[in-house]
Amino acid sequence: MSKLQTIIDDFEYLEDWEDRYRYLIEIGKALPDMPEEDRTEDNKVKGCASQVWLVAETKPGEAGDPTMVFRGDSDAHIVRGLVGIVLAATSEQSASDVEKFDEAALLAKLGLGEHLTPQRANGLHAMVMRIKAHAAAARAG
């Protein structure tokens, strides 16, 4: 079972928003720490109220469609959890699949969409747009 499917299943089990909130923080705590040398201005995601860093790498995949590997971090607990969810959905996926990723559908499936502040939702969208831009650039070669 994929890491993302485990998260989806766990969220379905948690009916109370407070429990989902705590689980979101746990997802963030499970993210590997990002080395200080990766916390650069170039890796910072613009449009996030919290500080969010994203590093993209590629591995060989299908011809013209490499596998994307993402690492991310945030200085805010809830945002770090959101980063963890997005990375579970996009890292180790083909660039073409990453470009099709629909964060709104995933948030709705997890029951998080209506609970995120507009600021967090905008920041999450900015991160996803950056991830998709990395995937498009990787496919373009």
Residues with catalytic roles: 48
- Buried/exposed code over 43-66 (b: 16+ C-beta within 10 A; e: otherwise): bebeebebebbbbbeeeebeeebb
Separation between Cα atoms, residue 126 and residue 137, nearest integer Å: 16
Dihedral through CA 137, CA 92, CA 84, CA 130, nearest 10? 10
Decide: 127 and 79 in contact? Cβ < 8 Å: no
